[in-house]
Amino acid sequence: MTTDGAELLERIRAGGPVPRHVAIIMDGNGRWARERHLPRPLGHRAGMRSVREGVEGAIAAGVEVLTLFAFSEENWNRPRAEIGALMGLLDEYIARETEELRASGVEVHVLGDVTRLQPASREALDRLIDATRGGTRLVLNLAISYSSRAEIARAARRLAEDVVQGRLALEDVDEEALALRLYTAGLPDPDLLVRTSGELRVSNFLLWQIAYTELFMTPVLWPDFTRRHLFEAVLAYQGRERRFGRVTA
């Protein structure tokens, strides 16, 4: 087996439908650093390489949408120094990767409450979004300052405002109406959710959207995650039967 997963990629191409939307909870940076007796920020820096691996692997496999859980609302409770390091890495990622993402046909979206970010980081994200607008090979969602419960509450609030203002009839409030007011409006729900580091929880990530998503948990820590690991997850997905609550005849 080659290190870049070429053999796995050939199996994917022969194996049937590829997940249109893959979501990844990028976990294990701190543990990776601790095992090497390094400061936690160096674990986060090491994880930046895996972001590129995930993006390039998704494009190679034919995935249409890739959503990466980069920073949760709960992460604001971490030590100030670690938050500062994470925000610095976000700015560095944008500066280093914008041109590569644009050239690769990646269109970047941001999911989350970015009003909590510093103005410089918000401006950098805006530049990234503008520079990659119109990319046709992959939609890359970066979930930053993201909470799924907060997202659902925000959608419910927007629904209530539309009903109060007469823009929406009460009887038209249904699942579709709420889904149209989520950050992911217009995108397919994830077919596959990958979580690294061996943890068995979804951590308030895309709770509405993953109702019938296939889960793949790997013990690999995020900084060690490569496109080959992504291909393994896709192959596992291809081997599953998705019934969406129905029974097989």
* Least confident span in 123-127, 199-203, 245-249: 245-249
63 part of a folded domain: yes
Burial class (CB in 10 A: 0-12, 13-18, 19+), 244: exposed
Residue 69 has pLDDT above 80, yes or no: yes
Which of these, 182, 153, 200, lies nearest to 25 by C-alpha position?
200
Domain CATH number, residue 223: 3.40.1180.10
Residue 205 has pLDDT above 70, yes or no: yes
Residue 249 has pLDDT above 90, yes or no: no
Which pLDDT band holds residue 247 (cuts at 50, 70, 90)? low
Which pLDDT band holds residue 243 (cuts at 50, 70, 90)? confident
Question: Taking residues 191-206, what's their average pLDDT?
Answer: 98
Quick: pLDDT tens for 34-56. 999 999 999 999 999 999 999 99
119 part of a folded domain: yes
Quick: pLDDT tens for 208-231. 999 999 999 999 999 999 999 999
Work out the percent of the chain whose per-residue pLDDT is above 70.
Answer: 97
Question: Taking residues 151-163, what's their average pLDDT?
Answer: 98
Residue 2 has pLDDT above 50, yes or no: no
Residue 244 has pLDDT above 80, yes or no: no
Indicate the average pLDDT of the chain.
95
Tell me if residue 27 is catalytic: yes
134 part of a folded domain: yes
137 part of a folded domain: yes
Work out the percent of the chain whose per-residue pLDDT is above 90.
Answer: 95
Pairing of strands 192-195, 138-146: unpaired
29 part of a folded domain: yes
Give the global pTM. Answer: 0.95
When divided into structural domains, the chain yields a total of 1
For residues 22 and 200, is the Cβ–Cβ distance under 8 A? no
**Can you give the residue range of the structural domain that contains 28?**
18-147+190-238
Which of these, 215, 223, 224, lies nearest to 195 by C-alpha position?
215
**pLDDT at residue 110, rounded to an integer:** 98
The one-letter code for the residue type at 2 is: T
52 part of a folded domain: yes
* Least confident span in 2-6, 130-134, 144-148: 2-6
β-partners of residue 106 are 138
Residue 203 has pLDDT above 50, yes or no: yes
Residue 1 has pLDDT above 50, yes or no: no
**pLDDT at residue 242, rounded to an integer:** 81
Tell me if residue 75 is catalytic: yes
9 part of a folded domain: no
Q: Which of 27, 29, 141, 191 is catalytic?
A: 27
65 part of a folded domain: yes
Q: Which of 75, 91, 113, 204 is catalytic?
A: 75
Residue 167 has pLDDT above 70, yes or no: yes
**pLDDT at residue 237, rounded to an integer:** 98
